[in-house]
Structure 1
Amino acid sequence: MRAYDIILKKRNGNKLTKEEIAFFVNSYTRGDIPDYQISALLMAIYFQGMDDEETSFLTEAMMKSGEVYALASIPGKKIDKHSTGGVGDKVSIILAPLVASAGVAVPMMSGRGLGHTGGTLDKLESIPGFRTNLTKEEFISNLKKINVAMIGQSETIAPADKKFYALRDVTGTIES
C-alpha cells in the first residue's frame, strides 16, 4: 500500500477502505509517513469529505493507535460528549459534572485549542491546580469516586489523534 495512491483516491472523491485508513493512521503515528503527505490527505478529506463508514473507520483507527482503557470496573452506563469546538463552546465543562451528578459515568477525552480558540483542556487547566495529565489509575479512580474524569491525548492514549489534531491546526483543515 502506498500513501500516494490513497491520497489520489480521496482527492478524486473515492471512498477509502478500513485498511487504507488504518494504514495512514498507523504509519503516520509511527513516523513512517511525513507531515506533507498527511497534510495532502487531510486537505483531500477537507474538500471531498468522509462518509459515516469512513468516519467510523478513522475513529476506530485513532482509538486503537494507543492504549484503550477497560472501564468494565465502572458500574452502569458511560457516556462522553465530544466538543466540535468554537469560541463559545463551554458545554463539556458544564455538562460533564451535571451528568455525573445524576449517577452516569463520564470518561471524557478532550482536546487543546484549534485555530484561535482554547480547547476544553486549555480552559480547565486555567483553573489553578486542575490537572488533565492523569495516569490511568487516577483517571479510573476519579470515575469511581466522582463519576467524571477528563484526560487529553498523549503518547499512550490516542497518540494518532494528538498528532492529527496538531497538524490540522496548522494546515487549514480544522473544519473537516
Structure 2
Amino acid sequence: MDQAILQNLEAAVGRDNDPWIVGDFAFAREIERASVERIPGRKHLIVGNQDKPWVRKLGWASVNAIVSVQDGDQWFLLCHYPMMTWKHARRGAVHLFGHVHNNWHGSRNSVNVCVDLWDFKPMQAGDILRRAKTLPKNKHWHDVEPGADIGDEDHEAKWGLVDTRPRGLGASSAQPLRLGP
C-alpha cells in the first residue's frame, strides 16, 4: 500500500506543488526518510497521532498541528482530527481531516481526506469540494454555530463553496495533494 501511495504521488505531484499530508505519515522507521524524499514538491506535514518526533524531522517544508490554507477564494482548515467547528467555518472554510480512516466520511463542511477513501491517490481542492456536496449536513452544526447555515445553495454561493477549478491547495495551477493517513 505504501508503494502504491508513493507511486500515485510521483505520478500526480510536480516539483512546484505543495502536497499536504494530514497526519499518520508512517509507522515503519526504515522507510520514512526514503518515502519523504520520493514525494515531489514542497512537502508539508500536519501532525497525526502516529507521527513521532523523528517523523517530524524528515525534511518537511513545514510541520504543524493545524493550519489554514487558501486555494483561490476557498479556505481549508487542515487538522488530523475531526472537529466540530473551526476558524472561518461560518464563512465557508472547509475542514479536512483523516484520523478516523474510513469510519466516517465527514459532513458537508468537514471532509475526511484519508487516502483509504480516495483510492490511495492525491486529491485536489475541486475533488474535495465536489465530494463535500455529496455528504450529509453536520447534524450538530446549529448546536455549535447557532444562526449559521451550511450546505444550502445560498450559503455555498455566498462563500464560494462551488468550485470547479482544477487547482490544488495553495497554488494557482493543478496541485494534487495527499491528504490523510
Is the strand fraction higher in 1 or 2?
2
Larger radius of gyration: 1
* TM-score normalised by structure 1 residue count: 0.31
* TM-score normalised by structure 2 residue count: 0.30
Is the helix fraction higher in 1 or 2?
1
